[in-house]
Amino acid sequence: MMCLVATESLANMQYLNINHSNIASDIYSAMSSSYIPNWIASFNNIGPELLIFPFGTFQTNQISSLFLDNFGDALTETMARLLAFLLIASVTYSMRIEKLNHSMMGKLHVITFSLFASSLFGQFQSLLLYSVLQILKLDLFLDSYSIISYLTGYLTLSLTIGLLVFCFFRMLSIFKNKNNRKKNSSEILSDESSLSTRNQTRWLKKKYEFLFDDFKKSHKNHFFFAFWITAFNAIYILLIIFLQSVPVLQCILVAILALLFILFPAVTNPFEKKITAFLHFFNFSCIFLAAILNLALAIIHIVNPDFSGVETQGKAVISIIAMNTGTNAIISLSEMLIVIYQKLKNSGKDAKMRKEKNSRMGVFRSTGEKIDKDLPRKREKRYPRVSRSIRDREQGNNNKISAAELSTNAPLNLKFQEVAIPRPRDHPARRIVLVPSTSNNP
């Protein structure tokens, strides 16, 4: 998203109300174009003279006021990403959250949503610019195309701002839960004892991590730094739109704004990774240098309207743009290759660990089977312990003398038998003890 912000900021410098060089104007327009041609604009049948926005450089460069004429190609890409997300979301809608956290469909849901939202937030400058031009031009309700263009611009801007607000409150919920868990860990554990609550929190972090993953989580200014970037986009493009009549002040404020977003993170240090910090300072330094060059051109045109070094200034701006684009492309490609390599490496480790685990389980099973084979197949038939105790208990009950028998005067018919006790080592005599006989024979 940060690379998109830099590209948008440099490309929208074409709308500074100064006399740009021809080579710089060509590069600006090329940066603003999309890979998909603006096929929507082919439905426009209104004369170009009626569509020009009558203010500043927009009038000089004959910029159309219709949202679909300017943003139709980017809108097509955005709609394609939105359709991909809605398709995946329709499949994952009925899935349980604990399954989404670990399934492939859950990963696809996160990827499609982050691509859609990050591209939309990254193009917020152009979206806001062309929506404002469309909304301010109130006399263009000429046919169905112009009406659809007006409604599309208004709805797209409204939905984008609504999505920003929604994401902000989602991130605020994540930040509060994180801080509460640190302050009152025992209380949070009791509140989050249910598995569904923990899975819900984990899913929110995974879905919206593209907004805070590159920044520190300890402070609000760090955690919500992506929204500071969005604020920069809004202020930057509004300065360009509404300060067309004072080009020098316009360029000064744009340069100051870029400088502020270099100094502010340098003081607060909100970045989690060094590569993110490098990209931020590098991109905003490129924006600042280009703004300084354009400011110099605006001042020179006031002092010397016949200045002949416009093309030289344009070449300097192009060199900054080329350096910025090339560095961002190299770093983005390198990060993508590193992520792919780490994924393949981790998958290889996981496969190796599973193979070793399966081999250990196989050895355990074979050893267990061998032990089972070595055991004798025929075992003695024994009484169960419970059966044996029941039998002994029944015999004992038969030999008991009841209290009623003792209370009668009938003589007890006791029979005794001799039991020989083994002779102890230190006593030569053999002991004979008489014990009651349990047999029925006399």
Instruction: Output the DSSP codes for 106-134.
Output: HHHHHHHHHHHHHHHHHTHHHHHHHHHHH
Q: Is the pLDDT of residue 181 over 80?
A: no
Half-sphere exposure of 210 (CA within 13 A, CB side): 19
Neighbouring-strand partners of residue 52: 64
Residue 14 has pLDDT above 50, yes or no: yes
d(CA 56, CA 54): 7
Mean pLDDT (whole number) for 165-170: 94
Rounded to 5 degrees, φ, ψ at 436 are: -60, 140
SS3 284: helix
CB-based burial label for 109 (10 Å; 0-12, 13-18, 19+):
buried
What pLDDT digit, counting tens, does each position of 66-84 carry?
Answer: 999 999 999 999 999 999 9
Tell me the helix, strand and coil percentages in the chain, rounded to 5.
75, 5, 25
Q: Is the pLDDT of residue 212 over 70?
A: yes
Long-range contact pairs involving 309-312 (C-beta distance under 8 Å, separation at least 24): 310/19, 310/20, 310/21, 311/21, 311/22, 311/23
Burial-class residue 223 by CB neighbours within 10 Å (0-12, 13-18, 19+). Answer: buried
Angle between helices 67-92 and 104-122 (to 10 degrees): 160
Band (380; pLDDT cuts 50, 70, 90):
very low
Question: Measuring CA to CA, which residue among 234, 248, 225, 357 is closest to residue 295?
Answer: 248
Q: Return the bridge partners of 417, or none.
A: 435
Q: Cα 140 from chain centroid?
A: 42
Q: pLDDT tens digits, residue range 270-318?
A: 998 889 999 999 999 999 999 999 999 999 999 988 888 899 999 999 9
pLDDT at 441: 47
Cβ burial of 111 (10 Å; 0-12, 13-18, 19+) is middle
